[in-house]
C-alpha cells in the first residue's frame, strides 16, 4: 500500500487528515438532516393526531363546505351592500334650514325654509310660513340643485346650505 501512495505522491498523513475532515462534514450534514426529519416527523404527528385517512377527508370536506358557505354569504353581502348604496344615493342626506320672520307683526322666527337633498342634489324645499292665525306649508321640487319654480330668498339660502352640506371650507 505504501508503494501505491509513493507512486501517486500522496503522503499517508495528509490522506488521513482529508478523510477526517470529510467524516466531520458528513457528520454535520447527517445532524442537519436528522434535525429536519425530526421537525417534519413532529409536524406530521401533530397533523395526524387522532385522525385516520377518512377522518381527514371528512375534515377537508367540512372545511370546503364552510368555505363555500362563506363565499356565498360574501356574495349575498356584496349584493345587499350595492343595493343599499343605490338606495342611499336617493335618500336625502343633505339639508339646509333658514329660520325667519315672515311677517313684521310675528316675531320669534317661527317660519322656516327646509331644503332636503340626496347625493345628486335632488329633493325638495319645505317652506313653513307662520302667521298669527295660521301656518301654511309649501313644497317645491329640486332637481340637480335647481328649482323650476321661483324661490324666495330664504328658500335660496336653504338650498345653498343643502348643496354645500359637509363641504370643507
Model confidence over 78-104: pLDDT tens digits? 999 999 998 888 899 999 999 999 888
Start-to-end CA span in the chain (Å): 99
CB 115 within 8 A of CB 125: yes
CB 3 within 8 A of CB 10: no
For 22, the grid coordinates are 470529510
For the whole model, what pTM was predicted? 0.55
100 falls within a domain = yes
70 falls within a domain = no
Q: How many domains does the chain have?
A: 1
Rg (alpha carbons) of the chain, rounded to whole number: 43
pLDDT 10s digits, 30-39: 999 999 999 9
121 falls within a domain = yes
Q: Report the DSSP beta bridge partners of residue 100.
A: 111
136 falls within a domain = yes
130 falls within a domain = yes
7 falls within a domain = no
Q: Tell me the residue range of the domain where 130 lies.
A: 94-163
User: 3-class secondary structure for 109-121?
Assistant: CCEEEEEEECCCC
128 falls within a domain = yes
57 falls within a domain = no
Report how far residue 73's alpha carbon sits from residue 83's, in angstroms, rounded to the nearest whole number: 15
Report how far residue 149's alpha carbon sits from residue 159's, in angstroms, rounded to the nearest whole number: 13
Amino acid at each position: 500500500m505504501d508503494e501505491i501512495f509513493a507512486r501517486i505522491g500522496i503522503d499517508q498523513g495528509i490522506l488521513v487528515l482529508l478523510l477526517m475532515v470529510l467524516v466531520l462534514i458528513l457528520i454535520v450534514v447527517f445532524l442537519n438532516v436528522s434535525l429536519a426529519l425530526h421537525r417534519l416527523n413532529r409536524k406530521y404527528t401533530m397533523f395526524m393526531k387522532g385522525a385516520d385517512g377518512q377522518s381527514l377527508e371528512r375534515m377537508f370536506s367540512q372545511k370546503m363546505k364552510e368555505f363555500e358557505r362563506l363565499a356565498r354569504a360574501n356574495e349575498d353581502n356584496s349584493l345587499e351592500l350595492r343595493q343599499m348604496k343605490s338606495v342611499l344615493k336617493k335618500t336625502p342626506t343633505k339639508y339646509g334650514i333658514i329660520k325667519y320672520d315672515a311677517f313684521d307683526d310675528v316675531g320669534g322666527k317661527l317660519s322656516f325654509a327646509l331644503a332636503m337633498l340626496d347625493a345628486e342634489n335632488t329633493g325638495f324645499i319645505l317652506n313653513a310660513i307662520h302667521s298669527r292665525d295660521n301656518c301654511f306649508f309649501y313644497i317645491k321640487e329640486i332637481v340637480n340643485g335647481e328649482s323650476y319654480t321661483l324661490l324666495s330668498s330664504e328658500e335660496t339660502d336653504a338650498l345653498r346650505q343643502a348643496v354645500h352640506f359637509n363641504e370643507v371650507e
